[in-house]
Structure 1
Amino acid sequence: MDRKQHIAIFTTASLPWMTGTAVNPLFRAAYLAKNGERKITLVIPWLSLKDQKLVYPNNTTFGSPSEQESYIRQWLDQRIAFISGFTIRFYPGKFAVDKRSILPVGDISEIILDEEADIAVLEEPEHLTWFHHGKRWKTKFRLVIGIIHTNYLEYDYPRSIVCNVHGVNTKFLEIGKKRFEQQHGSNQAFTKGDYYIGKMIWSKGYGELLKLLHDHQKELVGLEVDLYGNGEDSDQVKEAASKLKLTVRVHPGRDHADPLFHDYKVFLNPSTTDVVCTTTAEALAMGKIVVCANHPSKRLLQAVPTTGTEKLSSKKFASVSLNLWKTIEDTSAYVHHLALGFEATRRVFGAIPGSLQPDEEQRKELGLTS
């Protein structure tokens, strides 16, 4: 083709919400655009002010998408050593309090022109497709790649492959190298004990961690643990921690590369809901000891793709099976599209009221035509 290949990365979160679906896709866009061989667009949610106040920490809010984009690029520029020429586009989103997730409003695939719809990377595809009512993703784009960030028990999605698609910022490796040199020199590499950094909601393992500390208080006399994070359950976590006889301090969230964390020796990660525990990899890169659950959500376990390992008995059977699967898939997509075109049906399925199309406020904020 005469033009550059276009990759559009759609994700369900954006800074300053320090969650994996805000950070990892941002770095993915930056590094994919690094050599200038492809055109990269990062498509992120725009929240109106009332939802920003529910999601973003430290009372951080933005009056316009351009203001938030400036914040994001400044944050990124402080963490990469090159200039990356990717584009940021916003789609209208709403925060679902019950799901604790940002969900898209309207047909967000329209943000990318049809003539540039080469590859779509859907970060948390289940969130982006639950209530999607518009052109089918696989019809709009020539290739669609879904990256699931949450551990859904058995990873049993059809035609899925479990693999690592995230990297670790070189900054963490540099920190680890420095600590290694200190350890073999005259200086002590680590002067602090144990810590955990993660979004402060119970589903990130705080309950399991606090229960373990409670059940083994006698064996852990003298242990001190620092917990860092922002989230809806911060006050409850702090209250539960205060009831322990051990010293467990609860702090606001910080960037994992902050010098504050350099002196900690042990990283605790009780979470079992993440597919890629980025903070675990970062801690290992910094030379820390990691204590985590023996669980599929830890990418320390090896995963062996099974696609292509079983032979079908005949080409005829394979052809029939594929055609049947495609028919079922097409029918399911049609029913899904039809059902989600009505407000009443959408609400039955759990969609946010009024999320079929952007409201007047979001249209004005995003400069969308009526």
Structure 2
Amino acid sequence: MCKEPQDSKEVPPLDVPELLASFIRQSGPFLDQLGVRRDVCDKIVECLYNKSKNQFLLRSLSGEESPILGNGNIYEELDLRIASVLQSTGHRYDGALWKNHAKRDLSGNERHFAIVTTASLPWMTGTAINPLFRAAYLSQSEKQKVTLLIPWLCTSDQEIVYPTNLSFSSPEEQELYIRNWLEERIGFRADFKISFYPGKFSKERRSIIPAGDTSQFVPFKDADIAILEEPEHLNWYHHGKRWTDKFKHVVGIVHTNYLEYIKREKHGALQAFLVKHVNNWVTRAYCHKVLRLSAATQDIPKSVICNVHGVNPKFLEIGKKVVSDRELGQETFTKGAYFLGKMVWAKGYKELIDLLAKHKSDIEGFNLDVFGSGEDANEVQSMAKRLDLNLNFQKGRDHADDSLHGYKVFINPSLSDVLCTATAEALAMGKFVVCADHPSNEFFRSFPNCLTYKTSNEFVAKVKEALENEPHLLTPAQSYQLSWEAATQRFMEYSELDKIMNKEKDAAKSSTDNGKFTAKSVSMPNLTELIDGGLAFAHFCLTGNNFLRLCTGAIPGTRDYDQQHCKDLNLLPPLVENPIYGW
């Protein structure tokens, strides 16, 4: 805190209703977690502020000077009112209690994006593929440099996670594989950096858990904007620098409906309740903004819903070929229906088998080809055989494989997806998609080839409709909507990074031109930031205790990276890198 001389100006001090309105407004996220609805908080703030505003208007009518009052948004008026009072006192607040502020030079035009994710190729999962495409398309702009930070697995974990006979002896070897895979699909050489952080695979969670402080693998000079792919997953056991302290702005992107998966486990309801609150805790403590791909995820603090994923350009090329072939009168679809996905029960196989078993007589003669491999393959196939379903199981393959081009109908009954990539790919290829009327499919409803159902009877009707008709031709506008160019544009808009970057650039220019710049946002301590900082500090303390980590399901030895990681990544031992005793 500091004081600067200001021109004296008569501004009435804040009264009790205004102080209460400001307090309740800043307590919004905290009250939201206690179950107080946001619209109730908004109404209370509005009533308190209007009461105070009416008092000031009465004073002005009696001859007293009126403060700065607008006719716009209540929150904006309240901010301006507080800023005017604080400015009149010469008071200025330089940041929250918990923050470690460092001045960064914003006068240059180039920014740096660090994209941190929880998986990497050749593991063919959404959190490995989508962040890779995001890095490629963000790097096309000359205004920013991009780093993709991905987990490095030791050989023993690689053998479990990666496809058979595919492993890497060095990060450089894996990076070459990733770049070749990407270039084959996007058709251009993407200029971004790939870095690795130590990770360990959890068989119980079927996911990779970071080992040590992931944030330390982004140099401070590059710590500008962080994009955390699966922020809850990355921070469950994060013990290190707070992301929002190190980076100017942190955006989280929620990929996975963890609560849906957990509910299917033993004592699932209790586990889901606990995980829900832990997810709220860590995303609130470590992110400025959170994007949810669909409403199928839990409602996380500071979040908005927007699909910021696109499809591999190869699928759009297939769709364009379908359009040209149809216009020439050629037959494009020679096969019926298929389903494609990792063969685990939670990926829609349970729903698929239930629907087909219930309506076996209604769709007599209907055959479905199923492509997938996974841990539950034997159980799924045994169940289908026992129920005598017409399912033809085949090994999993790339959705762009030539053998799949001829299918006309893609069926996806999954209720656990957040945003099914395979659905987007099928639409991009000009196929019909039959899927459930579910929040995860909201983005696709605007496409005429997307046929949604609410009941099992509707499922049968939609399947028959798709098999008996030809799909609509994909228009250029629909094709663009599915592209990564459009997804990147949506990301910049909904994350508010475009506004933030322009605002900071203007602020830096104003500061350079005028010698000083006072922003409304740092006029006073922010209660929300204080609470978030306290939550981050409490999380840091809890995750520093190995006993507590193990009690909550952490992999042993993940508070710090191990000797094998030191050898593979050429790292100093943790005790040398961070010589801190006690925790």
**So what's the TM-score if we normalise by structure 1?**
0.90
Letter in 2 for 1:344: F
Residue of structure 1 equivalent to 2:555: 352
1:60 shift after superposition: 2.1
Matched-pair contact (CA < 8 Å) for 1:228–1:251: yes
Q: Which amino acid aligns with 1:86?
A: F
Is residue 221 from structure 1 mapped to residue 364 from structure 2 by the alignment? yes
Kept after mapping to 2: 8 A contact 1:18/1:199: no
In the TM superposition, 1:1-370 aligns within 5 A as 1-2=107-108, 4-151=110-257, 153=296, 155-298=298-441, 299-300=443-444, 323-370=526-573
Kindly indicate whether the alpha-carbon contact (under 8 Å) linking 2:343 and 2:375 is maintained by their aligned counterparts in 1: yes
Paired residue type of 2:131 = P
Partner of 1:315: none
Q: Report if the CA contact (8 A) 2:113-2:225 is conserved.
A: yes
**d(CA) in 2 for partners of 1:154 and 1:21?**
15
Letter in 1 for 2:404: F
1:236: how far off? Answer: 2.2
Q: Which runs of no fewer than 5 residues in structure 2 stay unpaired?
A: 1-106, 260-295, 447-493, 497-520, 574-583
Deviations 1:23-44 (CA, angstroms, capped at 9, x unpaired):
1111111111124432111111
Counterparts in 2 of 1:266 and 1:301: CA distance versus 1, 3 Å: closer
Residue pair 2:115, 2:147 contacting (<8 A) in 1 also: yes
CA deviation string 1:161-208 (max 9, x = no partner): 100111123321221122233334442211111122222221111111
CA deviation after TM superposition for structure 1 residue 228, in Å = 2.0
The secondary structure found in structure 2 opposite 1:290 is strand
RMSD: 2.3
Structure 1, unaligned runs of 5 or more = 308-317
Tell me the TM-score normalized by structure 2: 0.58
What is the alpha-carbon distance in structure 1 between the residues aligned to residue 174 and residue 380 of structure 2?
Answer: 30
Give the Cα–Cα distance (whole angstroms) in 2 for the partners of residues 55 and 288 of structure 1.
31
What is the aligned-residue identity percentage? 53
TM superposition shift of 1:347? 0.8
Give the counterpart letter for 2:552 in structure 1: F
Letter in 1 for 2:187: A
Farther-moved stretch of structure 1 (80-89 vs 50-59): 50-59
Contact 1:208 1:270 (C-alpha < 8 Å) held by counterparts? yes
Shift of 1:8: 0.6
Mapped to 2, the partners of 1:189 and 1:347 lie a distance apart of 55
**Structure 1: how far apart are the matches of 2:379 and 2:555?**
26
Residue 57 (structure 1) shift: 2.3
Task: Name the SS of the counterpart of 1:300 in structure 2.
Answer: helix
SS in 1 for 2:185: coil
User: How far does the alpha carbon of each residue in 1:134-173 deviate from its partner, in whole angstroms, 9 at most, with x for none?
Assistant: 0001111111010001235563111101001111233212
How far 1:3 sits from its partner (Å)?
6.9
CA contact (8 A) 1:19 1:199 kept: no
Whether contact under 8 Å (1:12, 1:123) holds in the other structure is yes
Please identify the structure whose Cα radius of gyration is greater. 2
More helix by share: 2
1:285–1:217 Cα change, 3 Å: same
Distance 1:225 1:253 in 2: 15
Q: Secondary structure at the match of 2:315?
A: helix
* Count of matched residue positions in the alignment of Structure 1 and Structure 2: 357
Aligned partners of 2:122 and 2:163 also within 8 Å: yes
**Residues 182 and 231 of structure 1: CA distance in aligned 2, closer, same or farther (over 3 Å):** same
Change (3 A) 1:81 1:105: same
